Structure 1
Amino acid sequence: MFWPGIMGEFMSFLPLTVIIVLLSSLFVALVINPVLCALFMKIKKVEPMVDGQAPSELDAVPNDFIYRLYGASLRFSLKHRWLVALGVMAAFVATFMLFAKHNSGVEFFPETTPERIYVNVTLPDGTNLDASNRAVLAAERTLLGRENIDSWSAAVGAGNGNEFSSGGSTPNRSRITVEFKPVEERKTDPKETVAEIRDGVEGIVGADIDVIKENMGPPTGAPINIELVGADYQVLGKIAEEVRSKIEGIAEVVNLKDDFQAGRSEITVHVDPNAASAAGLNTQDIANTVRMAIAGVDASVFRDEADEYDIVVRLNEDSRNSIEDLRDLYVKNKDKDLVPITEVATIVVERGYGSIRHVDTDRVVTVSADVTDSQIADAKLKEVQKVLDAELELPAGYDLRYTGQNKEQADAQAFLTKALLAALFLIALVLVTQFNSVIQPFIIMCSVVLSLLGVLWILMLRHQPFGVIMTGVGLISLAGVVVNNAIVLIDYINQLKARGMGSTEAITTAGMVRFRPVMLTAVTTILSLMPIVLGFSLDVKNLKVVVGGTSVEMWGEWGTPSRPGSPSRLSSL
């Protein structure tokens, strides 16, 4: 709820939903369940005391294999408590060391199978619609015969969704939107189709073509996004070209581009203020003369009955077609003398700017690229950083910074780390108040830390990257669930000790008696997440079970901390 930025807006519904569900379940547990128990539950009669002794709590414990096995392991652990404690600490350290060496990297947001892709076709500035249309037709021919493609539509000259576009007419930018068939009708993995299309459009000469998968999550920028900062826009363009040349050979890096727009060539008149002043002229006089010669000025109006026509005075067409024609101009000064324009100004042909971007008042050119698989985005970014640190030399006064998804990921990691620490602190504060003790809350909080073992082992065994968003949110949720098991156990231990039991006997009895509710809590949580974990969901609209799909791919990582077999849920026992 306090998550800042676009990611916070995207994920805000999750904590709100959980809070509402927990409050509803609390109401049901405190009000509805007691009523239902009074209506339907039958209370067994308490057996009378035998030889003056009341029945033991262990008398209600089933005498089956599972309970006997747990009882034996519990008694062994209590008898060799220091050995078990040291073993757990060693396992904790070893797990983190193994994960540091054998992890599958970091993933910011889960990658989902695309429902559609966009083929962006960009030609040089100044390209007309006919040339753009030919390039789009060539790109469309690479889509023919693809089994996974349902349909596509092309918009020629309508822009291609470039976030750096300066707007206005864009005849050189086009987009093809490609729709994939429904999941059950696809013959192959759409990722393979995307790779085939990328290979197909590489042979189209003169066009810069990007094949982009639809983004199912919040907008976070490209996985590789490098901002070049400096004063001279032309120098930034050259640096951007150098950066592209150094990283274009890195495997799995695709859609490499920059937003530098050189613009068309234009004629520029550079006025010499000192020479103009000496000749009795100013910049406005020179500009007016050039404007009148090329564009003309309205001298009068010609009226033909009800119609009016402007009379524009300017040079003949054959006298204003070249830069030499401009250099032949004369400017009238305040003394009515004609001064050659070449004596007071320099006329040259220069490359203009298509657009200039500023970020926080800094002039910026951005180089961006995608990766073929989001699971390797972090590793590829580090590889790019390593290459640029070793090979790129920036001029004085110029700098580069890594933004886009990398910045969002760093911000999300910082926030989730603070959120987890805040959650643990609030849980510890409530526990200290409840138990009026510091040691017992410390024991409960240890179960939260130990729950990380199960999460890390699942990630290693499944070769799954650590999801900054989904796995991080799952860990915070897990912290609130795991403490419930420990609270149930320790609270009952305190009750038994208050009746006069010794510590070892109270712990053994509490473990055996509370084994069933703790197991039921763990099992029900696991079963509720099984559809997400195993990859199937219920299509309520069409009343059918769907295997896989976007929803499962996006939310599957959230269930990682509670996957079946994970010791994280049973650490309290």
Structure 2
Amino acid sequence: VLSASLVVALIYLPVLGGVSGGISQVFGDASQTLRQLPWLVRALLVPPTLYGLFVGAMQLLNPHYLLSDGRPGGLWGVLMGIALFLISAVISSIVMGSVEVRWHKRRITSGHQRTSFGYFIKFITGNPVMPVVTLAGVVGFVVITFQTFSTNNNGVEFFVATEPEQAIVYVQARGNLSVREKDTLLKQAELIILNTPGVQSTFAFAGEGGLLANTGGAGAPLDTIGQAQIELIPWGDRPTIQNTRKILGFIPWTSSTMDIAYDGNLVLNNLQNRLDVIPGIKTQILNLAMGPASAKPVHLRLKGDDWDDLLTATSLARQKFENTEGLSAIEDTLPLPGIDWRIDVDIEKAGRYGANVATVGSMVQLVTRGILLDTMRVESSDEEIEIRVRFPEQDRVLSTLDTLKVRTPNGLIPLSNFISRKPVAKLGQITRVDRKRFFDVKAGVHSDATKIAIGEDGISREIKMTPSEIIKEISAWLDASSLPQGIEWEWTGDQEDEAESGAFLTNAFMGALGLMFIILLAQFNSIYNSILVLLAVILSTTGVLIGMLVMDQAFSIIMTGTGIVALAGIVVNNNIVLIDTYQEYSTYMPRLEAITRTAEARIRPVLLTTITTMAGLTPMMFGLSLDFIGGGYTVDSPTALWWKQLATAVVFGLGTATMLTLVFTPAMLALRIWTVSGAYGAALAIRASSWTGEGRRIREDYRLSKAAKKYKGHEISWEDDTLDTEPSK
């Protein structure tokens, strides 16, 4: 943001008046004094002054650039860079002014002088054919751009993929494990995590629980026995590699590149490979990316009423996920295999012995969870602590039920006389949505997953796999596969968020266009001109797609979509300026001449506004961040990656829309003039078909013209008699 503001301020700096005018006069006098020297001597002074300007800028960005001998930089280094930069800028301005080649000024002629751009606009508007050709060319360009993007894009993503700095490692195992056994397995994973290069710290938690983290609704897998939340080394503190080279063969340039081994994605991939070798457990790594939290991007939900069919469909979907290339950390919500012990109480027998059923239940609780007596609060906890009574640990086994006796009016009676126990399949949990049972199958996508795609030209190329492409592939399989009857499926998770965000941005976009149309209609009092202004939005969207292709970026629902909505309020300004000026000029000059004069008069402010905006956003588009305090710069930092796609959309969209608008708008204005004047027969016939006064007049003129062609006039001939000019006698 600071670099963008600085660029815009520097561009407008020359138009300052007052003090800047006096300074400019002083510089001009100094340059005139230097002109007394030979031109070759003045030319030799240019490279040193420009090099001083470069050194001053580098010292400003890096306070240790000239103070590399151990002397402190900091504020003094920055002030030194500012002073050197300003002095070099003054000297460079004077020297460059002295070597300027001054040509003799041409004689000024009166009247309007047509510019080159004016002749071009006159060429595309001065006859009925060129506006149609221009319109066809612009429409063809837009159509070709959309078709090219549809076949060569990098896919669609919900939010910008940023550098990971935090993650959660889920440790999975199955079996009736105690907390200590779970902790033992978790310690093995924790030891590997701490010994992985790039990991700064970790917090491990065995059993259920853990730190609260924004996972975007992504819960832990059902068979999770523990988790470790890790923090990677911050992006700015990661080891770097120094690169020294010379620009133009003599200008020293030192840059630092982050060690590729400490890249966040590579660190997590390396960690996953090392965790996979631990026997008896599985692990999943969830990247806690910055920005909106999101669960696993590929999230399929299967719904149905029949339990067995639902289990079969979920197993088939899980198998398809495992056979799909590019997916990772696949999981489902099928019930985990396990055993539950069901204890049945024969109420008839208990009544025969005079045993109370509530007493029997309390005896069973002494073996299992214990009897709840009360709750209490302690200073070290915000929650109430339960007070339970139960048997010692060595007696908390199912065989204890065979030896327990319950007191009855008839004396102590063994529990085994009226209770029975048997193992049953563990059910786990029952989940419903819209009154239907459902199971989920979820998976992540490898950050480096690629595939070979063959274009329409038959050329194969490697492209990055995105969740949208994988979802499209699995959706085709679901449509063609024979899932059990009555099974419904839908995509949730990121796909659902993308659909909701896309619908919201679409509604916002259409709402913005509607409001702008109402305002423009009130301003111009012309539906044609109002629609013509809004057509610049379509042209800007074409530029956005070109930017995605040129910068090799994926289309982000959030950032790119926001850029398109923002462009809708920016690009219309150029058309408003052109049409408003045309309406003013057309009141006192021919309308075709007014179009040409408008283009000539407004091309400079239109281009100046566009270029300054594009220049201000260019550093953001390339991910360039300048450190004005500590000096130096960074490229593609995690924070800068957020704004690259939005800046790319604005820069390319605004630039393309401006260039096309300067041609398209004059052509469309001329097209209307030629249409009204009757240059196009089809348009004249359409106007004549209306029941307005103009339509009746055109039909009457056509009828009279047709009747005049049928009328055959009489031939009139006469002879010239010689007049007698002599006077009579």
Q: How would you bin the TM-score normalised by the shorter chain?
A: 0.7 to 0.9
Aligned to 2:633: 545
Determine whether 1:568 maps to 2:642. Answer: no
Determine whether 1:556 maps to 2:644. Answer: yes
Aligned to 2:677: none
State the Cα distance separating 1:270 from its structure 2 match: 3.6
Determine whether 1:219 maps to 2:266. Answer: no
**Separation in structure 2 between the aligned mates of residue 130 and residue 278 of structure 1, nearest angstrom:** 44
Aligned to 1:137: 188
Q: Which amino acid aligns with 2:553?
A: Q
Do the aligned partners of 1:164 and 1:259 also contact (CA within 8 Å) in 2?
no
Q: Please list the CA deviations of residues 46-84 of structure 1 after superposition, one character each: whole Å capped at 9, or x if unmatched.
A: xxxxxxxx975x45x7x5xxxx2x334322221311111
Computed over aligned residues only, the root mean square deviation of the Cα atoms, in angstroms, reads 4.4
Determine whether 1:105 maps to 2:152. Answer: no
Do the aligned partners of 1:428 and 1:445 also contact (CA within 8 Å) in 2?
yes
Give TM-score, length-normalised by structure 2.
Answer: 0.59
**Separation in structure 2 between the aligned mates of residue 411 and residue 313 of structure 1, nearest angstrom:** 52
**Separation in structure 2 between the aligned mates of residue 76 and residue 260 of structure 1, nearest angstrom:** 71
State the Cα distance separating 1:369 from its structure 2 match: 1.6
**Closer, same or farther: CA 534–344 of 1 in aligned 2, 3 Å:** same
Residues 175-190 of structure 1: pairs in structure 2 closer than 5 A: 175-180=228-233, 182-183=235-236, 185=240, 186-188=258-260, 189-190=263-264
Do the aligned partners of 1:225 and 1:367 also contact (CA within 8 Å) in 2?
yes
Q: Which amino acid aligns with 2:557?
A: V
Aligned to 1:370: 444
Aligned to 2:62: none
State the Cα distance separating 1:131 from its structure 2 match: 4.7
Q: Please list the CA deviations of residues 348-387 of structure 1 after superposition, one character each: whole Å capped at 9, or x if unmatched.
A: 1234466665667766543322112396111122223334
Q: Please list the CA deviations of residues 272-316 of structure 1 after superposition, one character each: whole Å capped at 9, or x if unmatched.
A: 678878998885465345447878989xxxxxxxxxxx9x99899
State the Cα distance separating 1:121 from its structure 2 match: 2.4
**Separation in structure 2 between the aligned mates of residue 96 and residue 495 of structure 1, nearest angstrom:** 36
Aligned to 2:559: 470
**Separation in structure 2 between the aligned mates of residue 473 and residue 128 of structure 1, nearest angstrom:** 48
**Separation in structure 2 between the aligned mates of residue 438 and residue 198 of structure 1, nearest angstrom:** 61
**Closer, same or farther: CA 544–222 of 1 in aligned 2, 3 Å:** same
Residues 456-467 of structure 1: pairs in structure 2 closer than 5 A: 456-467=545-556
**Closer, same or farther: CA 345–391 of 1 in aligned 2, 3 Å:** farther
Aligned to 1:439: 528
The match for 1:491 among 562, 569, 580 is: 580
**Closer, same or farther: CA 208–495 of 1 in aligned 2, 3 Å:** same
**Separation in structure 1 between the aligned mates of residue 648 and residue 436 of structure 2, nearest angstrom:** 42
Aligned to 1:516: 604
**Closer, same or farther: CA 240–159 of 1 in aligned 2, 3 Å:** farther
**Separation in structure 2 between the aligned mates of residue 294 and residue 503 of structure 1, nearest angstrom:** 94
Secondary structure of the 1:219 match is coil
Aligned to 1:386: 476
**Separation in structure 2 between the aligned mates of residue 139 and residue 198 of structure 1, nearest angstrom:** 12
Do the aligned partners of 2:575 and 2:661 also contact (CA within 8 Å) in 1?
yes
Secondary structure of the 2:169 match is strand
Q: Please list the CA deviations of residues 319-352 of structure 1 after superposition, one character each: whole Å capped at 9, or x if unmatched.
A: x8446x647878888x959999788665212344
Aligned to 2:171: 121
Q: Please list the CA deviations of residues 413-453 of structure 1 after superposition, one character each: whole Å capped at 9, or x if unmatched.
A: 11111111111111111100001111111111122212222
Do the aligned partners of 2:313 and 2:483 also contact (CA within 8 Å) in 1?
no
**Separation in structure 2 between the aligned mates of residue 226 and residue 145 of structure 1, nearest angstrom:** 33
Aligned to 1:529: 617
Secondary structure of the 1:486 match is helix
**Percent of pairs with identical residues:** 26
**Separation in structure 1 between the aligned mates of residue 147 and residue 369 of structure 2, nearest angstrom:** 74
Do the aligned partners of 1:270 and 1:346 also contact (CA within 8 Å) in 2?
yes
**Separation in structure 2 between the aligned mates of residue 515 and residue 103 of structure 1, nearest angstrom:** 33
Do the aligned partners of 2:582 and 2:598 also contact (CA within 8 Å) in 1?
yes
Secondary structure of the 2:279 match is coil
Determine whether 1:426 maps to 2:476. Answer: no
Unaligned runs of 5+ in 1: 1-13, 15-20, 26-35, 43-53, 299-309
Q: Please list the CA deviations of residues 175-224 of structure 1 after superposition, one character each: whole Å capped at 9, or x if unmatched.
A: 04141353562311432333232222222222221123231111232201
Determine whether 1:201 maps to 2:275. Answer: yes
Secondary structure of the 1:492 match is helix
Q: Please list the CA deviations of residues 514-557 of structure 1 after superposition, one character each: whole Å capped at 9, or x if unmatched.
A: 11001011101101111111220123553432222112211111
Do the aligned partners of 1:259 and 1:365 also contact (CA within 8 Å) in 2?
yes
**Closer, same or farther: CA 371–321 of 1 in aligned 2, 3 Å:** closer
Secondary structure of the 1:572 match is helix
Aligned to 2:321: 247
**Separation in structure 1 between the aligned mates of residue 576 and residue 346 of structure 2, nearest angstrom:** 84
Do the aligned partners of 1:139 and 1:204 also contact (CA within 8 Å) in 2?
no
**Closer, same or farther: CA 459–121 of 1 in aligned 2, 3 Å:** same
Do the aligned partners of 2:166 and 2:289 also contact (CA within 8 Å) in 1?
no
Aligned to 1:76: 123
Q: Which amino acid aligns with 1:438?
A: I
State the Cα distance separating 1:132 from its structure 2 match: 3.2
Q: Which amino acid aligns with 1:74?
A: I
Length, aligned pairs only: 502
Do the aligned partners of 1:444 and 1:487 also contact (CA within 8 Å) in 2?
yes
**Closer, same or farther: CA 345–492 of 1 in aligned 2, 3 Å:** same
State the Cα distance separating 1:142 from its structure 2 match: 6.5
Q: Which amino acid aligns with 1:98?
A: T
**Closer, same or farther: CA 385–346 of 1 in aligned 2, 3 Å:** farther
Determine whether 1:350 maps to 2:424. Answer: yes
**Separation in structure 2 between the aligned mates of residue 135 and residue 329 of structure 1, nearest angstrom:** 38
Q: Which amino acid aligns with 2:200?
A: S
**Separation in structure 2 between the aligned mates of residue 234 and residue 206 of structure 1, nearest angstrom:** 29
Do the aligned partners of 1:135 and 1:204 also contact (CA within 8 Å) in 2?
no
Q: Please list the CA deviations of residues 466-521 of structure 1 after superposition, one character each: whole Å capped at 9, or x if unmatched.
A: 2111111111111111110001111111111112x112110011101111001011
Secondary structure of the 1:555 match is helix
Residues 304-323 of structure 1: pairs in structure 2 closer than 5 A: 321-322=397-398
- Could you say which structure has the larger radius of gyration? 2
State the Cα distance separating 1:247 from its structure 2 match: 0.6
Aligned to 1:11: none
The match for 1:503 among 591, 610, 613 is: 591
**Separation in structure 2 between the aligned mates of residue 380 and residue 532 of structure 1, nearest angstrom:** 31
Aligned to 2:492: 403
**Separation in structure 1 between the aligned mates of residue 503 and residue 561 of structure 2, nearest angstrom:** 11
Q: Which amino acid aligns with 1:132?
A: D
The match for 2:141 among 59, 84, 91 is: 91
